[in-house]
């Protein structure tokens, strides 16, 4: 297992799995393909899988658990998340210590393992004291049920409260070239407190792979997202043109340039690009070998400073 520059014991390119059995997030998911994506990822040297109860209401964890049995458990780093309570037609959030303990127990069963390498509180609820929530996870850590403690989608205030006793190991948050809102106080706090940061949506849901053109046919769901909306899409593609030039110069893909760029950032520990096809994970893993020059990094920085929210 590699150790990232900030100390997380994983290969720096992980696998995001909201499309692995995530029937509540994407339509037409083929579970055979889902399992093949995870299997290919491990076979190609990947070891860091990011899942959550929310992805398919446990189905993502179950499928990953089935594939994990084909590999040595200790060679795999599995991160999952909990906080959602599913109701008949909706869900709500709960960060209470009792509920988080039950989340971990349930995830262990679905993943068919006796420890989680990392467990995140997926989203903050509105009522629980975040230091109490994290203290409950610290006890699970002492019992060996989880090895690292994470929080996700926490505001600056919530992160400080959660980390009051220094127990937070990892933060996961929305961050990509088009959404750099966390840069500044938040990233500085993580660096100062030796907290690993895992950005989610690193490929801006596929836009940052460079596969979209002005005449691409977008789904209605995509058009509703600010990144793909009529007002922003063509401007965003102009920025991505700069990435195409860099990718062509180095005979790599735009997605690989983007992932390699994040790995140069001092506050980024590892990445979890999602995938819907096995060939995508192979391409994404290869990004770990892509080296950018200082000039490449400066050009990307300059191109993407004015970003729109996604």
Residues that bind ligand NAP (CB under 6 A): 16-19, 50, 152-153, 172, 200-206, 209, 211, 255, 272-276, 280, 283-284
Q: Which is nearer to ligand NAP, 30 or 142 (CB)?
A: 30
- Work out the angle at residue 94's Cα, subtended by the Cα atoms of residues 119 and 47, and round it to the nearest 5 degrees: 20
**Considering the complex, what minimum distance in angstroms separates the CB of residue 280 from ligand NAP?**
4
Which residue is catalytic, options 26, 53, 54, 55?
A: 55
Active site residue 167: no
Within 127-172, where are the H helices?
Answer: 130-142, 156-162
**Residue showing the smallest CB distance to ligand NAP in the complex:** 274
Task: Tell the smallest beta-carbon distance from residue 284 to ligand NAP (Å).
Answer: 5
Our CB check for ligand NAP shows the closer of 19 and 140 to be: 19
Please provide residue 69's backbone torsions phi and psi, each rounded to the nearest 5 degrees: -65, -20
Terminal-residue alpha carbon distance, the chain: 33
User: What b/e string do you get for 132-159 counting C-beta neighbours within 10 Å, with b at 16 or more?
Assistant: ebbbbbbebbeeebbbbbbbbbbeeebb
Shortest distance in whole angstroms from residue 82 CB to ligand NAP: 11
SS3 184: coil
By beta-carbon proximity to ligand NAP, the closer residue of 50 and 117 is: 50
Closest CA to 92 of 83, 103, 102, 80: 83
Please say whether the dihedral angle defined by the alpha carbons of residues 180, 24, 63 and 111, taken in this order, is positive or negative.
positive
In the complex with ligand NAP, which residue's Cβ is closer, 33 or 242? 33
Q: How far is the CB of 16 from ligand NAP (least distance, A)?
A: 2
Question: Which residues are known catalytic residues?
Answer: 55
């Amino acid at each position: 297992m590699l150790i990232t520059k900030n100390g997380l014991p994983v290969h720096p390119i992980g696998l995001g799995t909201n499309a692995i059995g995530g029937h509540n997030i994407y339509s037409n998911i083929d579970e055979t393909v889902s399992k093949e994506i995870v299997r290919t990822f491990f076979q190609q040297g990947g070891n860091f899988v990011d899942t959550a109860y929310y992805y398919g209401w446990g189905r993502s964890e179950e499928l990953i658990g089935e594939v994990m049995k084909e590999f040595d458990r200790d060679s795999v780093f599995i991160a999952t998340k909990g906080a959602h309570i599913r109701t008949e037609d909706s869900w709500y959030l709960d960060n209470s210590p009792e509920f988080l303990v039950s989340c971990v127990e349930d995830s262990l069963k679905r993943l068919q393992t006796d420890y989680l390498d990392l467990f995140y509180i997926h989203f903050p609820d509105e009522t629980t004291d975040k230091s109490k929530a994290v203290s409950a996870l610290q006890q699970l850590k002492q019992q060996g049920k989880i090895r690292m403690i994470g929080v996700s989608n926490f505001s600056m205030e919530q992160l400080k409260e959660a980390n009051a006793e220094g127990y937070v190991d990892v933060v996961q948050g929305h961050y990509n070239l088009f959404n750099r809102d966390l840069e500044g106080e938040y990233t500085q706090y993580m660096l100062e407190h030796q907290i690993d940061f895992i950005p989610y949506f690193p490929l801006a849901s596929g836009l940052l792979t460079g596969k979209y053109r002005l005449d691409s046919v977008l789904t209605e769901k995509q058009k509703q997202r600010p990144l793909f909306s009529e007002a922003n899409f063509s401007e965003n593609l102009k920025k991505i043109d700069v990435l195409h030039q860099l990718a062509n110069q180095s005979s790599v893909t735009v997605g690989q340039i983007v992932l390699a760029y994040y790995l140069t950032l001092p506050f980024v520990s590892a990445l979890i690009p999602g995938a819907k096809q096995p060939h995508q994970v192979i391409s994404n893993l290869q990004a770990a070998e892509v080296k950018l020059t200082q000039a490449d990094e400066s050009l990307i920085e300059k191109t993407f400073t004015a970003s729109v929210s996604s």
